[in-house]
Every structure is written in structure tokens, then in C-alpha cells.
Structure 1
Amino acid sequence: MTTAVKTLQDRVTASVDARADELIALSHAIHANPEVSYAEHAAAALVARSAEAAGFATELGAYGIPTAVEAVAGVGELTVAVCAEYDALPDIGHACGHNMIAAMAVGASAALAEVADELDLRVKLLGTPAEEHGGGKVDLLLAGAWEDVTFSLMAHGGTGADAPCDAMRSTAVERLEITYTGRAAHAAGAPTKGVNAGAAATVALTALGLLRQQLSPEVNVNAFVSHGGEATNIIPERAVVQLEIRAYDLDEWRDLRRRVLACFEAGAVATGCSWAHRRTEHPYAPLAPHAGLAEVWNRTIQGLGRVLDPSRVLGGGSTDMGNVSQVLPAIHPLVSVLGNDSVPHHADFTAAAATPQADAAVLDGAKALALTVVEAALDPALRAELLDRQRSRPAGATRTTLEA
């Protein structure tokens, strides 16, 4: 390692340390005021103010999304997008630690801005709303937020031992609403005149339950009836089912989708109802981490004194960062709240996300993100590969969502 490289690394870690109190305060402020998808007005404003204070040209409400943030510093040929999430879950708040994600992203971006000239780097901090439900990153992809980006990264809080970057597996997921329409009638006085939409939903869910025996353990299907009728003495004219379909492999997901929708068609055929389905939010794609960036992250986080457990494999969930990773080089590693084994999306994780151990993870995560970018920018082969991929990417290639 040359003296110049070591100096840049020391500068970004010192920058995070200098902002430690500010970053922890940001994490705690977002944690204390949880806001759900697309309603993260206070959190987005906090991230925007932090970016402005660090000298970034900042827009709150970027790309026509009120709770999105874009903040830019530097004018280099290599553009990195660092993603900040800050939406919470209904009722249980920051049980996925997005307050930590936001603070890590702000800390890393501010540190990188201080060395952007030396790295020939342009830093873009993207505040991305609605990761839990909705797919804010897909909104931003479709709006062109990543069209000028060379590579992208973020870090997510976790529990248990730290794991290598590529240990995080995520599924494709699509959420659909199925609506059956029949004909109402008096359930006792004229049942033969009715067409039972509730029965259509029952047939479909029964078929789905029978299908599960033939499904791979790598896939997952969940559904519930959100509307099944108005009264016991009325044949239901309308029934609505909420459905999600998950798989790690996109081809397997597409085949699973076909088979699952056939179960819902069966409900209509058996009862004489009409049926329709629609997406309720953007579908998410599986994570496809860039191998070179993942290797740099692993080396960097270990250099900060963290120990990676190579036996850990994490999966089952989904993230709209998967959609980003499908169209340009990206990583989405985890940084653990050490000494804690609480389960994400549970109130115990909410409590863990504002502990001193979580604060330590915020600072380590911010440093590791910044140091990963420094090494990528200074590694001639990796930098050239990333830039070549950007230059060879057709215009509009990042403006996409997941198609069935």
C-alpha cells in the first residue's frame, strides 16, 4: 500500500469519526419517529439537511417523489451512488434498522466527498423511500436516477455474526391482488341465483395449498383473503385475495407465477366467477452482487476489526436493491449489531437498532462503505471494468422494472 492510498483511507475514516455524534444522532432521530413507505417526510428532510451541511448540492423531492433525496458532490468520471433507506414498518417501527442504513449512507457519502477530487470521483447520495413496501428504488430507476451511475452500494443492519457480502441472498417477489366477481343473492332464500366469489377464493387457496407439495423449497407463496363478503346471509359478490410469489431464480419465479395464477384461474372456472389480477407494488428482483466489489467490502470490513463467518447464509427476504444490482454493479452487505440475535421485523430488532452496538455498526458501516469506494476507485483493473460496463450500457438500460 502506498503512502498516498493510506492517507486517503485515513482521511475517510477520520471523517466518519469526526461526524460520529452527528451520525448517531441522525440514526436515533429517524428511529424515534418511524414513518412508513412514501410517508418518510421527516426522515428524508433529516437526510437532506445532513447532506447540505456536508456541502452537497441537494434536492428533497427528487425525481418527482416527495420523500426521495438526491445529493451530489464532486465532478469525477467515476460516479458512485450510495443508497439511504429510512422507511419503517407499520406498528413496530424500525424493526429492520433503516435508521442505521440512512446514517451509514450519509457518513460514507460525506467522507467520500472530502476526497472526491483525489479519486476523480462523483458522489451521489440517493435517499430511497419505500423499501419495505412499494419499491422506491424502482420508482427512481424508472425516473433515471441511476442512468449516470457507474456503481452503487449500501449497507444494511443485521444481527448475529457478521457475514461475507455475498452471503446475503434475496428473492424476487411480486405482490398481486386477485379480485373475483360473482353475483349476490340471498344465501338462504335464493342461493341458486348467486355466483359465490368467496367460494372462488376458497377453491383457489385450496389449489394453492395442494400445489405446495410440488414446489421447490427455494420458493415461497403467501396469500390471504382481504375481502370475503358483507354478511352471512348474502352470497358474496366480490372476494379479494392478497398474494405474494417469491423465488431466488428469475426463471423459476416466472414459472412459479404461471402455476400459482393457474390456481386462481381454477377458482373462477369452478364457480363461474370472473377474475382479474393486478400488481399492488413494484416487483423486486434478486440481489446479484458484483464479485469484485463484494471482495473489496469483505477485506475492508475485516480491516476494521470485524470477523466474518463464512458459514452464514442469509436469505428469505427481498429488497429493491436487487433491481439496482440487476442493471449495474452493486452490493448490499450486512453490518451486524454485535451481541444481538433478535429477528428482523420483530419489536426486539426495533429496540436493538438504537443501542450502542447499533451505533458502532453505523460507524463501521459508514467507514467500510467509504473505504470500499476508495479502493474501487484506486484499483486500476476494477475501476476500468466498472467504467467499461457503464460506457457499454445502452442509454435507458437502467430505466427498468422486473417483467413476468
Structure 2
Amino acid sequence: MDTEDDFVLISHSDCQPPSYLSEIRAVVAELADDLWPVNKKIHDNPELGYEEFIAHDALTSFMRSRPGWKVTPSAYGMKTAWVAVWDSGRKGPVVSFNAEMDCLPGIGHACGHNLIASASVSGALATASLLRNHSLPGKVVLLGTPAEEGGGGKIRLLERGAYRNIDLNLISHPGIVADTSLMRTSAFSAFRVEFFGVEAHAAANPWLGINALDALITSYNALSVLRQQTMPGDVIQGNISDGGVRPNIIHAHAAGNFVIRSNSQPRLRELRKKVEACFRAGSLATGAKLKITQEGSYMDHVPNRVLGASYTAYWNAMADDAAGPPWDGRIPEDQDVDEIRGRTMASTDQGDVSYAMPSLSAGFAIPAGPEEQGPHNPEFAEAAGTRTAFDVSLKVGVALAGVAVDVFTKEGMLEEVKRAWRKDVGK
């Protein structure tokens, strides 16, 4: 047993296989044939953020068919958000699951959100089944969360009270590399930059103009110089969306879209100051007026190690089961190693959830295609639609349910989860 500050982490090597594993697996196995067509329908009908009408209808219809669940479609003023609740009727922990639904423009479900939904749906249903079978107090909440791909659906849900009075949140994400219980994502900020100058004829009287494009190019070059002094977790990306109308004029307007990422919110704030200084330099050098419009931001995801330890115990118990399908490997029980494996420069609105409450975002590997392309590639979209990938997502659902059941049944665990969370986010 390892003690860290004011909370306790239990070494898995000292534990017996999870008590409820076989029961959870049986519930999920019974769901598989009914849930597969829902998964397939979502995958084969990809929909962009806030337009997930087919996915919304398929998932809410499926949840309505399950006894004891109260389903609210088009929840919280969002047409494609939904919520399903199973309530024991007795006060206890409230555990939530997120089901993502949206696709990527042009390449379908190349982020595997159909699998995320299947894992969360199966996990939530299995959790409720065990609460019912063992007469445990508490509540299970399953949220249909639109528009993860840049739309910030979970942020809107947070703002509108969807996560109020919920103790913790569980989700997962597919990839092609290592399985992990401690996915840590990057903080992200997107913004539009515009420069406003004065138009003039470039040959007849250029001295009368103020070149907005020069201001943008100067800023872009300054960003390139800045990269030499940035930290390993920093990313600066951008494109020029408006470089002027004609080549023979001094350009009165220029614009670009920019994205910055860092390992944490504090570091992102520091990077943002440096990036904005580059744009002010372009304005100062040319006399063009600068306008920066914020277009979106995601916080970094802070994984909860107490929840992660529970997930790892269930996952590795299944990995050790010779009767199951072949597994590529176990999740490291050394959580420092696991968190390094779980680090990604990608960003997600689940990060914002992790600052509002304890969060687990588990990463899971699905079989890659011939080119071994990961998420956001066409080949990954194809891989995400296979029955094999779906079967892996159900294993994830089992492990997520295991975490939830541990919270409901292990005395003091929820308090440990919350203490760890307060320490991690500085509350």
C-alpha cells in the first residue's frame, strides 16, 4: 500500500481479482447483440457536431427499451443532447458516463465516437444492473454529449447544469497504441486574428496604404521564431484565411485562424501571452489595427488516479483471462508509467469536465489497418466500424462499470477520489 499526501493508493498486486467482474461481464455480454446494430448505425451514418440526429434517436430509443431508465431527449436546450437516469430511490453516490456521437468533417468516425458511446452505454447499463441486483443506493446518469470535435458540447452542458449534483464522470477513447487508465490531454485555445489597414494602389501611391497582410506575415514569422523558445508540450498552429483580394493593392484586411496547445492551463496562459505579443508586434511594425476573437478553448484533462487504479484492476483481470480474446498487454500498475503512456497532445472538452469533478478517461487500442493510422485518419474510421473494435469497446464498458461499482460498494472510496481530485486541480 502506497501513501501519497492525504490519500491512499492501493497497489493492484496486493489485490484479489475484482469481486464483481464476472457479474458485470455477464450483463455486458447479454447486451452485445442488441447494442451492435446501434453502434453500427452511428458509425455508418456519421454526423457533425450538433447535427447528431440519427445517433441521438438511435441511442435514446435503445435506452428507452431498458427497464428502469428515465430518458430525456433533446436535453438542456440542445437538440442532440440527451440524458438517461437510473435511480435506486435511495441517497448514495451519483456516477455519470459520457457518450459522444459526432464525427469529423469529411472522414466520418475517424475518432471512434461510436465506440465511445458503446463503451459508456454498456458501462452505465451494467452499473445500474448491479445496483438493482444488490439493492445498492445511488444513481447512474448517462449523458449524450454532442460536438466534442471543436464544438465544446460538454462545456455547454456544464454551463447549463447537466453535471450538477454528480460525484464523478467516466468516459473512454479509442486509439491504436497503448491501453491506459490515465489519459492526460492538452489544454487548447483557438482564436481568429484580423488586421485592418488602409487600401492603396501598390504602384501608384503605396505610401498612402497600411498593409494588413504585412502585419499578419510579420506576426506569422514572429511565431516561427518564438517556437525556438517554447516548451516540449507547446504547439502553435495557424493558417491564413484572408490574404487580400488582388496582388496589386496594399491590403486593407488580412485574417488567420490559430490554435495553441500546452500541457496545462497555467502553461497555456503563459504561451498565450507570448503569442499575442507576436501579433502586437505585427500591428506595431505596420500600423495595422489588430483584432483577436476567441473561438473556443478546452482545458487539459486531469486524470484521477484513484479511479484509474480501479479501472486498471478490472482491465488487467480481463487481460489475464485465458478464456477471453487475445490481448496486446496490460496497463502498467505503476501509475507514473501509465500516465506517461496516456499523455497525448490532443485536446477534448472532457478536460473541462475534469476540472468540475473527478474524471476518468481511459484509452483503449483497437486493431489498426494496414497503414497503422491512428485517429483522425480515414483508415481509423474504417477500423472503428468493425465488430472487433466494438467488442473491445464492450471490454472497456466492463472496466468502466467496474470503477462505478467500486465507488458504490467500497467504503471511503468516493472520499478518496474527491481528495485526490482537489489536490490535482488545486482546490
1:134-155 Cα deviation digits (max 9, x unpaired): 2111111111111110110111
- What's the counterpart of residue 242 of structure 2? 227
Aligned equivalents of 1:42 and 1:196: distance in 2? 48
Whether the 8 Å CA contact 2:38–2:58 is kept in 1: the answer is yes
1:151-179 Cα deviation digits (max 9, x unpaired): 101111121342x312x221100000111
Residue type at the aligned position of 2:330: L
Matched, 1:165 2:165: no
Residue type at the aligned position of 1:333: A
Structure 2 residue ranges without an equivalent (≥5): 1-17, 320-326
Q: For the structure 1 residues 339 and 276, does the alpha-carbon distance in structure 2 shift closer, same or farther, using more than 3 Å as the test?
A: closer
Secondary structure at 2:298's aligned position in 1? coil
Aligned equivalents of 1:149 and 1:309: distance in 2? 28
1:121-142 Cα deviation digits (max 9, x unpaired): 2011011111111211111111
The Cα RMSD (Å) is 2.3
Displacement after TM superposition at 1:300 (Å): 0.7
Residue type at the aligned position of 2:136: L
Deviates more, 1:128-137 or 1:225-234: 225-234
- What's the counterpart of residue 328 of structure 1? 357
Aligned equivalents of 1:177 and 1:93: distance in 2? 26
Runs of 4+ in 1 over 6 A off after TM superposition: 387-390
The counterpart of 1:272, out of the listed 266, 270, 287, is 287
- What's the counterpart of residue 213 of structure 2? 198
Secondary structure at 2:235's aligned position in 1? strand
- What's the counterpart of residue 154 of structure 1? 171
Aligned equivalents of 2:211 and 2:148: distance in 1? 37
Aligned equivalents of 2:246 and 2:309: distance in 1? 59
Structure 1 residue ranges without an equivalent (≥5): 398-404
Whether the 8 Å CA contact 1:57–1:73 is kept in 2: the answer is yes
Q: For the structure 1 residues 133 and 347, does the alpha-carbon distance in structure 2 shift closer, same or farther, using more than 3 Å as the test?
A: same
- What's the counterpart of residue 5 of structure 2? none
The counterpart of 1:60, out of the listed 49, 73, 78, is 73
Matched, 1:366 2:397: yes
Displacement after TM superposition at 1:256 (Å): 0.5
Aligned pairs for 1:3-402 (under 5 A) are 6=19, 8-55=20-67, 56-74=69-87, 75=89, 76-117=91-132, 118-162=135-179, 164-166=180-182, 168-281=183-296, 283-305=297-319, 306=327, 307-310=329-332, 312-338=341-367, 341-386=372-417
Displacement after TM superposition at 1:372 (Å): 1.4
Residue type at the aligned position of 2:252: E
Residue type at the aligned position of 2:70: A
Q: For the structure 1 residues 389 and 348, does the alpha-carbon distance in structure 2 shift closer, same or farther, using more than 3 Å as the test?
A: closer
- What's the counterpart of residue 3 of structure 2? none
Residue type at the aligned position of 2:400: L
Secondary structure at 1:18's aligned position in 2? helix
Aligned equivalents of 2:204 and 2:66: distance in 1? 72
Residue type at the aligned position of 1:154: I
Displacement after TM superposition at 1:217 (Å): 1.3
Aligned equivalents of 1:328 and 1:16: distance in 2? 27
TM superposition score normalised by structure 2: 0.86
Displacement after TM superposition at 1:16 (Å): 1.1
Whether the 8 Å CA contact 1:12–1:371 is kept in 2: the answer is yes
Residue type at the aligned position of 1:148: N
Q: For the structure 1 residues 389 and 171, does the alpha-carbon distance in structure 2 shift closer, same or farther, using more than 3 Å as the test?
A: closer
Q: For the structure 1 residues 309 and 299, does the alpha-carbon distance in structure 2 shift closer, same or farther, using more than 3 Å as the test?
A: closer
Displacement after TM superposition at 1:358 (Å): 0.4
Whether the 8 Å CA contact 2:373–2:380 is kept in 1: the answer is yes
The alignment of Structure 1 onto Structure 2 pairs a total of residues equal to: 387
1:327-351 Cα deviation digits (max 9, x unpaired): 2111101121146542111111111
Whether the 8 Å CA contact 1:157–1:361 is kept in 2: the answer is no
Q: For the structure 1 residues 339 and 192, does the alpha-carbon distance in structure 2 shift closer, same or farther, using more than 3 Å as the test?
A: closer
1:337-381 Cα deviation digits (max 9, x unpaired): 146542111111111101232022121111111111111211112
Whether the 8 Å CA contact 1:9–1:374 is kept in 2: the answer is no
Residue type at the aligned position of 2:120: A
Deviates more, 1:363-372 or 1:305-314: 305-314
TM superposition score normalised by structure 1: 0.90
Displacement after TM superposition at 1:389 (Å): 9.2
Displacement after TM superposition at 1:314 (Å): 3.7
Residue type at the aligned position of 2:281: A
Q: Percent sequence identity over matched residues?
A: 33
Whether the 8 Å CA contact 1:296–1:376 is kept in 2: the answer is no
Secondary structure at 2:104's aligned position in 1? coil
Deviates more, 1:67-76 or 1:253-262: 67-76
Secondary structure at 2:397's aligned position in 1? helix
1:173-227 Cα deviation digits (max 9, x unpaired): 0000111111122222332222111111101001000111111112111111111
Whether the 8 Å CA contact 2:316–2:331 is kept in 1: the answer is no
Aligned equivalents of 2:253 and 2:101: distance in 1? 37
